[in-house]
Structure formats: structure tokens, C-alpha cells
Amino acid sequence: MEIKVIAFDADDTLWHNEPYFDEAQARFCDLFQDFASRQELLQLILTHQVKNLPLYGFGIKAFTLSMIETGLSLTNHQLSGKSVEKILNIGKELLEKPVELLPDVASVLKDLNGRYKLIVATKGDLKDQHRKLHDSGLGQYFHHIEVMSDKKDADYQKMLSRLDIKESEFLMIGNSLKSDVLPVLNIGGHAIHIPYHTTWEYEKIDFEINHPNFKAVEQITDILPLVS
């Protein structure tokens, strides 16, 4: 690999994120436990999230709106103002969650800093992702932060073109095979997958990836021998 630029996904690659959403969904399920089973409630939230992606995009605010819509559909549009307030509070508390770095992230970024141009390439709410990067203390290592509306082939191509980065010199590192790996491989870049112990259903794929530009590792420190 003749890599010059390394991009990192943020949520569940640099810091914990999905467990907070799991906790929020559990609280939603407690609120509406009399209307459906937990599995049915989770599926209904996911259905609304996926349906709303073209309009709301990704992130906590979009998730909160989808929870409200789920509540409306469960109650035949008789959702009380009190229930709306409780759902909004779930979303607000998500936005206030502390940033907890994953193990060895800071030391790996310190090792790579100066040898490569490092950027953050993540999905989600612009304000929230900038807040998390600031609170993480990692901002000093990155030349650029890109909060993407989505992570498809065209989105990466657009980012690389704007930043004047050649596909063959670009490496993306993240926890999602669907968003962090496949699109980058499709446009001629390199990708490394670092699994996280829980994954949002929308980000799962049901096939293996075999590609010369793809590597899978167990933890972030494992990338260092691959880029040295």
C-alpha cells in the first residue's frame, strides 16, 4: 500500500456509541411495553429510521424523530404530549453522553501523526460529531473532519475529489463493512475493518469480503504493522 491519507470512522471506531443507542431503545421499549413486544418495537423503530434516512439522514436527532413517529404509529396517532416529552428527553440525554475513547486510540493516532495525513470521515449530525471530536481530545491529530450525509461510493468520491486525494493513496478504517469498507473498495481505495461488539442492524451485511485492498483486524493497534 502506498498510503498517504488515512481516514477514521468516528462512532464505534474511535469512541463508544452504539451501546448508548441500545440503551435509548431499551428506554423507549419500556415506555411502550404495553403496545408490542420488545422485538416488534425495535423492528418498528428500525423501519422508521430506514424510511427516514433520505429526509433526516443519520444521527441522534434523526433517531429521535423516528422514535416519535414510532410512538405515533403505535398509538394510532394518539401519542400524548407527555410521551413526546419523554422521547425527546431520551434524545437529549443521548446528545449529552460523555465521549469514551476505545482502547489505544490515542496512542495509535499519535504514532501515525506526522507520517500520514489523518482525517475523520463519519456519518451523523454535524454539530454532535464536532462536539464529540472536541470532547475526545483527539482533534490535534486530524487535518480534516468530514461529516458525511451518507457513505456510498459517490460520497467518498466527492470527498476525495474535494480534498485532492488519489483513491489509490487513501485508506479508510472503520467498524462498518457496509459503510466504511465496501464503498471505498468500489472506488479503488484501501480499507481496514475493526469490528465492534455490537452493530446497528442497518450496517450489517450477510456476505464475506474478498478483495486485495481489504484487511480485517481485531483491534486498532493491529493496523500499525500494516501501515508501517
Rounded CA separation 132/15 (Å) = 9
- Reading the block at residue 223, the C-alpha cell is 493496523
Which helix (H) or strand (E) segment holds residue 104: the answer is none
The label of the residue with cell 446497528 reads 200
Q: Would you call 48 exposed, middle or buried from its count of C-beta atoms within 10 A (0-12, 13-18, 19+)?
A: buried
The DSSP bridge partners found for residue 178 are: none
Q: What is the mean pLDDT of the chain?
A: 95
Q: Is the pLDDT of residue 203 over 70?
A: yes
Distance CA 209, CA 35 (A): 40
Q: Is the pLDDT of residue 196 over 70?
A: yes
Give the percent of the chain with pLDDT over 70.
Answer: 100
Q: Are 147 and 9 within 8 A, CB to CB?
A: no
CA distance 7 to 79: 42
* Model confidence at 106: pLDDT above 90: yes
pLDDT digits (tens, 9 = 90+) for 5-17: 999 999 999 999 9
| The dihedral sign for the CA sequence 156, 130, 135, 45 | negative
Contact 14, 138 (CB under 8 A): yes
| pLDDT exceeds cutoff 70 at 177 | yes
Segment 107-127, tens digit of pLDDT: 999 999 999 999 999 998 999
> In CATH, which superfamily holds the domain spanning 18-95?
Putative phosphatase; domain 2 (1.10.150.240)
pTM here?
A: 0.93
pLDDT given for residue 1 in this prediction = 65
Residue 147, pLDDT > 90, answer yes
Q: Hey, where are the domains in the chain?
A: 5-16+100-227, 18-95
Please write the tens of the pLDDT for every residue from 81-103.
999 999 999 999 999 999 999 99
CA gap 121, 7 in Å, rounded: 6
Q: What does the pLDDT average to over 206-223?
A: 95
SS3 13: coil
What average pLDDT does this structure show over 25-46?
A: 96
5-16+100-227: CATH topology is: Rossmann fold (3.40.50)
